[in-house]
Amino acid sequence: MAAELVHAGAVDRGLAYGDGLFETMRAHGGRLPWWPRHRARLTEGAARLGIAMPDEAKIDAALADALALAARDHRGDAVIKLLLTRGVGSRGYAPDEGAEPTLVLAVSPLPSISDRGLVVDLLDLRLAVQPALAGIKHLNRLEQVLGAREAAARGLDEGLMADGDGFVTCGTRANLFAHLDGRWITPPVDRAGVAGIARGVLLEQWRPDGGLHVAPLRIDDLSRVEALIVCNAVRAILPVARIGARELRARPDDFTQARAALAASHPAFHES
Amino acid sequence: MAAELVHAGAVDRGLAYGDGLFETMRAHGGRLPWWPRHRARLTEGAARLGIAMPDEAKIDAALADALALAARDHRGDAVIKLLLTRGVGSRGYAPDEGAEPTLVLAVSPLPSISDRGLVVDLLDLRLAVQPALAGIKHLNRLEQVLGAREAAARGLDEGLMADGDGFVTCGTRANLFAHLDGRWITPPVDRAGVAGIARGVLLEQWRPDGGLHVAPLRIDDLSRVEALIVCNAVRAILPVARIGARELRARPDDFTQARAALAASHPAFHES
């Protein structure tokens, strides 16, 4: 392919600086059951970055187009990715506050999801601590790309990512729920990581009795973790079989209850 | 503008994840005098990220096209930005190791550069510490975007960025040289920041007698900085007049020598 030659004012800031946000969503039966949650996170991210949210009608029309494509090509069950950037702008980091945001919708087939427990391990790569960007799903994802490369090179199904202060925060593409010292915890995402949609549903609906806590998970704690679940909005929850060479417990009752909590709000995640 | 609807495999990873690198270069007289230095940094960045460098002939042809556009529209004096991404890829962070990189060249007019000393101050935003990405000029630049927004909101010509450990590292778009405790220093860029091209030239050629050191600059040191210079490959060096309300010394002899060191390797930076 030849190189592209453009005037600098024509480069989208999403490409130039990763100046934008995205949402990766599981469509089911031609609908996006968790769209209100994705929209809320997108809105918070836009506010944090100072990006104007497009009109709701424009987003709805774009989602309808994406769902139509998903219906035509994938019988309505697909992954729909929404990208929102600050738009096309002149050269330089300082944004033109009047720029019109760019909206891109991308449709892809569902990934194949195995039922077997995952093999994970702590990656060598550390996440940088950046409270200004933590929690939101922005487009600066080189750490996840490098983490996924390391996980693939080590033959792992998923890599566990700790931050520079030694707190295990997430997988490269998933949040974590760990059974540690007799209780379920999920790490906070206010210094690194993303506030995952499936994580949010589980926090609200999995253990309404209070048996689930947002609490730090240190690297040293990994040797005592009894059970581990990874989750995201496409694959829902998957159990972890091993951290490195160490076998974990399955806790099938807990896993079934967690999946039921997700299925209650997203019908794609009913047990098959 | 309507939203764009694509198949996920058609989204460039530069847009999806900031998965790429860039160089911003000052063309002069239809040439890029510092291209070998920019190419060396690009090559190091590509190696760090595991992105295949395009053939030299392909890059040379793309640069020739960009220089032709700069000659036609800007009499050969322009800013040429080169973007290199990992290319178009399927959904997911893990890269397809066979992807063909994307090369984009963007040409823009020179910015207006004032001769007056700059007003700078320490930004509230902190840089994240990430040795895996420090030094290279990758596309994950949200910290610079947020920093530039903060600087603009505070009416600053440039914002000084410290990392989360309290080390002042750079401006939002420039490296720093500070005269502190009787000597010139420039902060290291191995935990955050970019190894700027003009910085590299100055380190080699400004004070060959050894009167220039790579050394940490702490936030507390800012109150003792006697003189400050910011530099990048487009604007070369600019003196700082004030840090916040505090006036700095000009040290015109040092400034003239530094500019001469740059001009010796890039004729755009001769004193006018």
ipTM metric: 0.96
- Cα gap B8→A66, rounded to integer Å: 11
pLDDT tens per residue across span A195-233: 999 999 999 999 888 889 999 999 999 999 999 999 999
Q: Give how far B52 is from chain A: nearest CA, Å.
A: 14
Which tokens hold the place of A255?
Answer: 């896993």
The pLDDT assigned to A2 comes to: 63
pTM value is 0.97
Residue to substitute from B6, B13, B49, B85, interface A, most A β-carbons within 10 A: B6
pLDDT tens per residue across span B170-201: 999 999 999 999 999 999 999 999 999 999 99
Query: Cβ(A254)–Cβ(A179) under 8 Å?
Result: yes
Task: Work out the burial of residue B54: count CB atoms within 10 Å of its CB; fewer than 13 is exposed, 13-18 middle, 19 or more buried.
Answer: buried
The pLDDT assigned to B2 comes to: 63
CA angle B92, B94, B99 (to 5 degrees): 95
Query: Cβ(A81)–Cβ(A106) under 8 Å?
Result: yes
pLDDT tens per residue across span B68-84: 999 999 998 999 999 99
The pLDDT assigned to B271 comes to: 64
Residue tagged 């764009």 (tokens): B4
- Cα gap A169→A194, rounded to integer Å: 9
Taking 70 as the pLDDT cut, the residues of chain B under it are: 1-2, 271-272
- Cα gap B72→A138, rounded to integer Å: 38
Chain B nearest-CA residue for A124: B132
Question: How many contacts (CB atoms, under 8 Å) link A and B?
Answer: 233
> In this complex, which of A100, A149, A164 lies closest to B129 when CB atoms are compared?
A164
At residue A259, what is the residue type?
Answer: R
Whether A103 sits inside 8 A of B4 (CB atoms) is yes
Q: What is residue B111's DSSP assignment?
A: P
CA distances from A172 to A141, A149, A155, A168, A194 (A): 10, 10, 14, 11, 10
For residue B58, list chain A residues with Cβ-Cβ distance below 8 A: 3
- Cα gap B239→A262, rounded to integer Å: 58
Which tokens hold the place of B155?
Answer: 């009416």
Supply the DSSP string of B50-89, one letter for each residue: TPPPPPHHHHHHHHHHHHHHHHHHHTT-EEEEEEEE--B-
- Binding-face residues of A in 57-116 toward B, CB within 8 A: 58-59, 61-62, 65-66, 69, 79, 81, 83, 85-86, 90-95, 100, 102-108, 111
Whether A49 sits inside 8 A of B164 (CB atoms) is no
For residue A9, list chain B residues with Cβ-Cβ distance below 8 A: 108
- Cα gap A167→A160, rounded to integer Å: 10
The pLDDT assigned to A98 comes to: 81
Query: Cβ(B54)–Cβ(B103) under 8 Å?
Result: yes
CA distances from A34 to A174, A189, A196 (A): 16, 20, 12
- Binding-face residues of B in 126-185 toward A, CB within 8 A: 126, 128-130, 132-133, 138-149, 151-152, 164, 172-173
Q: Give how far B247 is from chain A: nearest CA, Å.
A: 25
The pLDDT assigned to A208 comes to: 81
A271 falls in which pLDDT band (50, 70, 90)? low
